Amino acid sequence: MLCTAVFSTAATAAGDCEARIPALLDVAYPGAKDDSGDNGDLLRLSGTPTRWVNPAEVVCKVWPASPDKTLVAVKLQHARDGDQAVDEADLDLLVVDSARDRIVQRHREDGVLSSDAIRVSSFAFDTARYRLDDKTTAFGLRVNRSGNSRPNPYEDSTLRLYVIDSTGLRPVLRNLVVMRNQGEWDTRCAGEFTDTRRTISVDAKRDNGYAGLLLNTVARTTRNVPKGEDCDDVDGGTDKSSVRLRYDGRQYVVPKDLRGFEDDYIGNSGG
């Protein structure tokens, strides 16, 4: 009965993680001060170099594979005001106790949420059951980006996977494109567009302890063709492909043509 009561309390606390964000930010960033910028109310973090957090952009989710834990993703802005030509931003990933304001694990990655012409529009947790071995289930973070060029529309979504093991919280998959829409047109009708979708399943075969990841890709092409005063959609065909990602003992190796823009920012993040 006691175990049931404890779990119920944790589930109740975890079920409303968004309401807990202010308290969790207080725990994660002691000494942070209220500030304001072009994009609303911010927190100015203590220490150097200075970073800012927009509480409205913090995302959280109770982890279904481990309901006693809640996942929190925080964007750390390098500049007080957004909408710069290049907006540098880091990712601070927290795993917190679902029943109380306590950080269980933490991992920070510089540059992951930076933007330029292709901007980060949103990010969200992916808690599908990525069961990598008998004891390890990974969780994902999807980062969505979009461009603002009308003649060259672009958007994508990349996936990162994380595990908690004896070394702590760490990434095992980085920057895998799972969705991409792109095209080129004359802004009136004529043009070509490609919609790429990628699904992931866990393989039974293991490499260096972790299961492989099977990727199935479907890419559909559509052409817009002027026809008098009308604009016709013409099916340009569908390409299907499959590939298996193996774990090399540290991470899953992602081929270059399946990677997103994040590689351009990581390591180039300013101080």
Give the whole-number percent of the chain exceeding pLDDT 90: 84
Last residue of a domain, one of 76, 96, 116: 116
Q: Is there a single domain that holds both residue 147 and residue 211?
A: yes
70 and 174, same domain (yes or no): no
Which whole number is the average pLDDT over 167-174? Answer: 98
Regarding whether 103 and 152 lie in a shared domain, the answer is: no
Reported confidence tier of residue 170, pLDDT bands at 50, 70, 90? very high
Same domain, 142 and 158: yes
Domain-located, residue 271: no
pLDDT digits (tens, 9 = 90+) for 236-269: 999 999 999 999 999 999 999 999 987 766 654 4
Whole-number pLDDT of residue 16: 81
Q: Mean per-residue pLDDT for 88-98?
A: 97
Residue 7: what pLDDT?
44
Query: Within a domain: residue 10?
Result: yes
Q: Are residues 46 and 132 in the same domain?
A: no
Block residue for tokens 């980060």:
120
Structural domain span for residue 239: 117-259
In a domain, 161, yes or no: yes
Average pLDDT, the chain: 91
pLDDT tens-digit profile of 29-71? 999 999 976 666 999 999 999 999 999 999 999 999 999 999 9
Of 33-37, 81-85, 182-186, the one with minimum mean pLDDT is 81-85
| Residue 64 in domain | yes
- Of 116, 134, 160, the position where a domain reaches its end is 116
Note whether residue 265 is domain-resident: no
Residues 107, 125 within the same domain:
no
Task: Determine, yes or no, domain membership for 80.
Answer: yes
The domain total for the chain is 2
Question: What local confidence, expressed as pLDDT, does residue 37 receive?
Answer: 64
Overall pTM > 0.85: yes
Q: Are residues 73 and 129 in the same domain?
A: no
Q: Are residues 164 and 71 in the same domain?
A: no
End residue of a domain, out of 116, 138, 155: 116
Q: Of the candidates 168, 24, 191, which has an alpha carbon nearest to the alpha carbon of residue 100? A: 24
Q: Is residue 177 part of a domain?
A: yes
- Whether 61 and 122 share a structural domain: no
Three state DSSP letters for the chain: CHHHHHHHHHHHHHCCHHHHHHHHHHHHCCCCEEEEECCEEEEECCCCCCCEECHHHCEEEECCCCCCEEEEEEEEECCCCCCCCCECEEEEEEEEECCCCCEEEEEEECCCCCECCEEEEEEEEEEEEEECCCCCEEEEEEEEEEECCCCCCEEEEEEEEEEEECCEEEEEEEEEEEEEEEEEECCCCCEEEEEEEEEEEEEEEEECCEEEEEEEEEEEEEEEEEECCEEEEEEEEEEEEEEEECECCCCECCCHHHECHHHHCCCCCCC
Same domain? 86 vs 122: no
Q: What is the pLDDT of residues 101-137, one digit of tens each?
A: 999 999 999 999 999 989 999 999 999 999 999 999 9
Residue 268 included in any domain:
no
47 and 108 within one domain: yes
- The verdict on 63 and 85 lying in the same domain is yes
